[in-house]
């Protein structure tokens, strides 16, 4: 099977199976580092717990970019 045939066959798969193939291909190029992955998992869980408990408030992406835009274009920048 050549590359074109392989791609044609992969494209014909259902979306979830194509996503799985893509994930496996990307992992083959950049294998995950389990220790680093675990640190990110721990951080994500900590942040989620903070949001759910009300200790921190979520900020919309739009608001974040508006703040960045205003800081980046303020006098003296």
Please write the tens of the pLDDT for every residue from 10-51.
Answer: 999 999 999 999 999 998 998 878 898 899 999 999 999 999
Q: Write the CB contacts of 23 (distance below 8 Å, at least 6 apart in sequence).
A: none
The per-residue pLDDT for 71 is 83
pLDDT in tens, 61-72: 999 999 999 987
pTM summary value: 0.47
| DSSP string computed for 23-41 | HHHHHHHS---HHHHHHHH
């Amino acid at each position: 099977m050549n590359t074109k045939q392989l791609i044609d066959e992969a494209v014909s798969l259902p979306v979830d199976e194509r996503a799985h193939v893509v994930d496996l291909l990307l992992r083959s190029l950049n294998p995950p580092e389990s220790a680093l992955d675990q640190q990110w998992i721990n951080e994500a869980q900590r942040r989620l717990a903070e949001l759910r408990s009300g200790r921190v408030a979520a900020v919309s992406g739009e608001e974040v970019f508006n703040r960045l835009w205003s800081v980046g274009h303020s006098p003296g920048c």
